[in-house]
Structure 1
Amino acid sequence: MISTKLTWKVSVIGEPGAGKSSLISRMAYDSDSISASMRGLIRKRVSIQHDGENRTVEVLFQEINGFSGAESLLSSSNAVIIVVDITKPMDLNELGKFVHFVSNFGKSPLVFIAGSKLDRRYEAQIWESDFDPMKNNGNVKIYMVSSKMPDTVKTMLNDVSLNLLKRTMERR
């Protein structure tokens, strides 16, 4: 049994309008409404079931607007969720380079890609299969989510938390 308190910093990064704030609001407050109080680090207690034990951890969400100049903000992140608006075209080669950069950055945070605005999939410009080249031999996980579809975000948050717990236990 792990007896120490666990706190993880999860950076949520993406271009303006990608859905970062709504995604954080759904993860932290179970709402897709963006609160004016969402400044700085947003705290959320998460309960994780692993190896027959229930573990409560604290997750600190940090929103990062845009990819350029993000290095200093990513430095202490345990995980990075890269949010991509699937309804807007994007240079996937540049995204792949950023995914590679983040995967090898600092203390090598876990990397997740969240294709956002799944509720508007009929307008999609990017499909889940477009992200396949970025999976980096299974080290990068892909999720198709929408803050308006709570189960998609809950599934992602549970998986991010479980992967962070497994990594923490492996390093002990």
Structure 2
Amino acid sequence: MMAQKLIWKVTVTGKKNSGKSSIVSEAVYSTATPINSKGFVRKKVNINFMSSEYDIDLLFLEMPYETLNEKFLSKSTFVLLVVDITDTESLQDAREFLSEYNDEMEIFIIATKADMRYASQFWEPEISQLADEYGVVYFIYSNRDDFSSILKEIIGYALAKIYNPGK
């Protein structure tokens, strides 16, 4: 059986200094050291889902919340909405983003800087409440963690949504 080939655009957005570059670097290169990318960064993944094999080219585009471009955003397969647990404003920005775009696209919240819990201004109860309110999935991430397991889970959710839209 041949693998189905897909190309997905993934927009990574959030407030300035929330950890967007680290998320892209971790997802693509397995390093938390931010890369300086202008434009798309590609990651090839192969995944089995519901007895089918998929070769997916993930095209990551980092788009700061302050410079959101609706044209690019609307063509995303899914959005990683990055919130920084050490900055209450990023949670407010996430709420605004979700209220504006949640009906239009698949959004996942990535709460970053979990290794700085001692400096957190909000934590899982607030993130969970926001996710429940908008019916989105969230992940709490520290750059000491392996992002590939989170990415696999996100891809699984996206495939399930695409191939089981009623669920």
CA distance in 1, matches of 2:157, 2:46: 13
Q: For the Cα contact (< 8 Å) 1:119–1:149, is it kept in 2? A: no
Q: 1:19 & 1:142 partners in 2: Cα distance?
A: 15
SS of the aligned residue for 2:16 comes to coil
Structure 1-normalised TM-score?
A: 0.84
**1:78 to partner: Cα distance:** 1.1
Q: Which segments of 5 or more consecutive residues in structure 1 lack a partner in the other structure? A: none
In the TM superposition, residue 4 of structure 1 has moved relative to its aligned partner by: 4.2
After TM superposition, list the pairs within 5 Å mapping 1:20-39 onto structure 2.
Answer: 20-36=20-36, 38-39=37-38
- Inter-partner Cα distance in structure 1 for 2:90 and 2:56: 36
Give how far 1:103 is off: 1.1
Alpha-carbon distance, 1:157 to partner: 0.6
Match status 1:120 vs 2:116: yes
Kept after mapping to 1: 8 A contact 2:86/2:119: yes
Matched residue type, 1:144: I
How far did 1:85 drift?
Answer: 0.8
Give the letter aligned to residue 156 of structure 1. Answer: I
Matched, 1:158 2:130: no
Return the offset for 1:119. 1.4
Find the aligned partners of 1:18 and 1:156 in 2 and give their Cα distance. 18
Q: Which amino acid aligns with 1:71?
A: E
Q: Hey, what's the Cα distance between the residues in 1 that align with 2:101 and 2:109?
A: 11
Spell out the pairing of 1:56-67 with structure 2 (5 A cutoff).
56-67=55-66
What stretches of structure 2 of length at least 5 have no aligned partner? none
Give runs of aligned pairs for residues 4-153 of structure 1, distance below 5 A.
4-36=4-36, 38-67=37-66, 69-90=68-89, 92-104=91-103, 108-136=104-132, 139-150=135-146, 153=147
Say whether the 8 Å CA contact 2:81–2:108 is kept in structure 1: yes
Q: 1:14 to 1:92 in 2, by over 3 A?
A: closer
Matches of 2:154 and 2:68 in 1, distance apart? 24
Tell me the alpha carbon deviations over residues 68-97 of structure 1, each in whole angstroms, 9 at most, x when there is no partner: 543233120110111011112226455323
CA contact (8 A) 1:21 1:63 kept: yes
Q: Comparing both structures, which one devotes a greater share of its residues to helix?
A: 2
Question: Is the Cα–Cα contact under 8 Å of residues 13 and 81 in structure 1 kept in the other structure?
Answer: yes
AA aligned opposite 1:157: L
Task: Name the SS for the 1:81 alignment partner.
Answer: strand
Q: Secondary structure of the residue that 2:154 maps to in structure 1?
A: helix
Instruction: Give the RMSD, CA atoms, in angstroms.
Output: 2.2
Percent identity, aligned pairs only, is 28
